Amino acid sequence: MFEYCVDPPSLEGLVWLSCYLTTGKHMAFYGAFGTVLLLLAITAPTALAFGFGGAMAARARLAPLRWFGKGYIAIVRGVPDIAFFLFFVIALDQGIEYLRHRWKCPEWDEPIRQGSDFLVCQAAKMPLGNSAQWVHEAYGFSLAVLTFAIVFGAFAANVLFGAMQAVPRAQIETAEAYGMSPRQTFWRITVPQMWVYALPGLSNLWMVLIKATPLLFLLGVEDIVYWARDLGSAKTPRFTDYPHGDWRVYYFLVLLIFYLAFTRVSEVVLDRVMARLTLGQATTAGEAQRKGA
């Protein structure tokens, strides 16, 4: 990046370090922090939408829909996250390619599954082999977001289902006495009041989601864990202009500080949201606020 970085072997001290920390790989490392934040920004509302849909399905009067909602919650919560991540990404990717293969290559007469290989025509590949690098990265990131949303959506569904059940029955009966329909009661009474009961569980789920972002590394996305391991590994003059020993402990220390700082900021924000939601509510926190006032 700097003009004095033309001849790395001749550099020493802070000058060498400034050149080392501004290489192309380090820029990708810094950009990977943005990838993690983008994943959280997209996954959190998507998982919440999955959770809300799952909770509504679990409370549905129609038995098949209710079984689907409760099955979704039970199955996803009962499978270890890492196993589901590794399975679902492969299954989803192959499922998309299989459907595209049937549509684009109907004349194909060879078996798709040949031993341990999954073979489809070139036109069905996702993404295409001649696609730009950003297309491959965007496709992998999209699969990761969907997988995260489905997994954490099941946990959110369980939290929201319990929160809906926690809304005082007297509130529902009052709404019915005023002539509200079940739909009006749900959207005007249950949904606005359930958040105060759901937020503690959703707060914990948000923290778990932050801690789970290193799983991007397992999904093939070049995240901060990938770059920390790659950059921190011992380098020799034969393979790099900036040789060094095993510095992984320093890189992972940076990740430790990043996650601790981010979770601390999240705790402060969530505490303020909780204080806002409990204001005037008939809960322990709301009663404490009333007495304090």
Please state, in angstroms and rounded to a whole number, the distance separating the CA atoms of residues 105 and 98: 10
Please state, in angstroms and rounded to a whole number, the distance separating the CA atoms of residues 187 and 174: 14
* The amino acid at 256: L
Provide the domain count of the chain.
1
Please state, in angstroms and rounded to a whole number, the distance separating the CA atoms of residues 64 and 68: 6
Range of the domain at 105: 3-292
Using the Cα atoms of residue 199, residue 203, residue 209 and residue 212 in order, give the sign of their dihedral: negative
What pLDDT score does 107 carry?
A: 83
What pLDDT score does 281 carry?
A: 59
Looking at the DSSP bridge assignments, the partners of residue 235 are: 244
Q: Look up tokens 């999955």; give the residue.
A: 50
What pLDDT score does 289 carry?
A: 46
Please state, in angstroms and rounded to a whole number, the distance separating the CA atoms of residues 209 and 81: 11
What pLDDT score does 33 carry?
A: 93
Spatial neighbors of 15 by CB under 8 A, at least 6 apart, are: 4
Please state, in angstroms and rounded to a whole number, the distance separating the CA atoms of residues 95 and 158: 28
* C-beta of residue 224 within 8 angstroms of C-beta of residue 36: yes
Torsion of CA 50, 207, 218, 84, to 10 degrees: -40
Q: Which two tokens stand for residue 214?
A: 């290193």
**Mean pLDDT per 10-residue interval, the chain, length 293 residues:** 77 86 90 92 94 93 92 89 79 84 82 78 75 77 88 94 89 88 89 89 93 81 88 82 88 94 94 80 49 54
For 56-89, give the DSSP string. Answer: HHHT-SSHHHHHHHHHHHHHHHHS-HHHHHHHHH
Write the CATH number for 245.
1.10.3720.10
